[in-house]
Structures are given as structure tokens and as C-alpha cells.
Amino acid sequence: MRLAFGALLLISLNIAGAEPPLRFVVPDSWAMPMTQLERGHPTQGILHDVMVSLATQVGMPAEFHVLPRARVQHAMEHGEVDIRCYAAQSWLPNQSGDYIWSIPLWFQRDMLISRSDPLTSLTPADLSQQPIGTVLGYSYPTLQPLFDASRLHREDARNQEQVLEKLLAGRYRYAVSNQWTLDWFNQRLLPGRQLQGVAVLQEQSVGCYVRNDPKVPVQRILRTLVRMKMSGEIDDIIRLYIGSEPSTP
């Protein structure tokens, strides 16, 4: 798996002299199976592999800019990067700048997670006052009213994997995770130790958006993403990492 996409990366680098790089922004809060960051550089993962394949098919070398989540939109607005993937327009209600969005490419399901199955069905409103494991800079619309009322308290970690590690260690009783990261994290745990989904908090489609700049081949990028989605390539990459059918609405 890593060899195949490593070959794609080499192809992408070999065309560096012909085209300027396609600059992807990578939030440092991403974790596997989205992206593995090693020494500040993405090396594998669903989104890494999609971005490398996209750049190769567009005919440009991939260039990754790993940034704190709070700086991601600033980098887009100031032309430091060209494309951001795995985002939803609802996450950016005050987005400024000229961008064009792709078709929906992935489906994200956010879950309330615990270390064991509850005895009865549970909603966030049923929880007593306590901390909840969250990712720094992420918004949680379903939980925000409970945060505002001090019913629940955020305990932020730098990325999603750290949130689940702290839950497994007993730092808190509940946390929030997307379904992909939960499935990836549970793969290395014995069945009796695996973390459990308690409730679905939010479901939405996500995609990529590109700066509408004459220097960026926007339509070529968007057409390539459509082709990758319709051909099944993106879903095949998901299966390589989580070993199951991608979630759908």
C-alpha cells in the first residue's frame, strides 16, 4: 500500500520542473487514517494518498503545508496554499475570498464515544456535568449549547488520536470522534478494550475547495476530483485503511 502511493509521489516529484507545485494545506490536527504526520510531513493516510494522486493526475507536484488548524483559512486567504481538502462549507460560515468547491467526496460521521456500551440509549443532554474529550479548534454544534451552559466542559487535545488515547486511559468518560478515526484506533485493540460509539452527533458530506486564481488550474483540479470519485478510486483508498465500505448518508 505504502509502496504504491510512494510511487505516485515519485511521479509527482519528477514533473516538478514542468509545473509549479499544487500546494495543499494540511491541518496538524489530522491523525490516521486521514494522514500520518512524521517530523511535520504527511507520509500516508486516506487524505495524503488522495492528494498525491490528485496532483499526479493534474500533472503537478504535490506540496504539503502543515499548519495549526487556526492558521489554515488565513493561509488560503493570503494565497500561501491553493487547496484544502476534507472541509464543509458549514464549517466556514464567515469564509472570505474567492473559492470554488468540489463535489462531496467523503462522508463524516461524528460520534460520542465511551469505553463501554451504555446500558440504555444515551444523548449528550443526558450527561451529567463533566469534561468531554475534544480536538483543539474543532467546533461541535450539537454540543455547543451544553458547553455554553457549563453542563459539559471541553478537554482539548492536539489531534483526534490523542483524544482517544486519553479516553482509553480514563482521563474522561466520554469523547467525540469521527467514525474513521474510531475504526482505525480500534483495530489495534482487543475486542474487550475497544471504544464504543454511544450516539451520532452529526453527519455531513465534505469535499475540497480551491482558490479561484488564474495561476491555479481550478477546473482541471475539480474535473479530476469528479473522475476520482466516480471511478471509485477515492472509496478504494478508504478501504485500504479501514478495511470496510466507506460510510454513506
Q: What pLDDT sits at residue 106?
A: 95
Average pLDDT over residues 163-185: 95
Domains and CATH numbers, the chain: 2-106+204-242 (3.40.190.10), 109-203 (3.40.190.10)
Residue 118 pLDDT more than 90?
no
Which has more confidence, 129 or 7? 129
Average pLDDT over residues 125-139: 92
Residue 5 pLDDT more than 80?
no
Over the chain, what is the mean pLDDT? 89
Average pLDDT over residues 167-183: 95
Average pLDDT over residues 227-243: 94
Average pLDDT over residues 133-161: 94
Instruction: Map 13-56 to HEC letters.
Output: HHCCCCCCCEEEEEECCCCCCCCEEECCEEEECHHHHHHHHHHH
Which has more confidence, 247 or 197? 197
Judged by average pLDDT, the poorest of 59-73, 141-155, 231-245 is 231-245
Judged by average pLDDT, the poorest of 28-42, 113-127, 149-163 is 113-127
Q: How far apart are CA 80 and CA 211, in angstroms?
A: 10
CA dihedral 92, 93, 96, 100 (to 10 degrees): 60
DSSP 192: G
Q: What pLDDT sits at residue 15?
A: 45
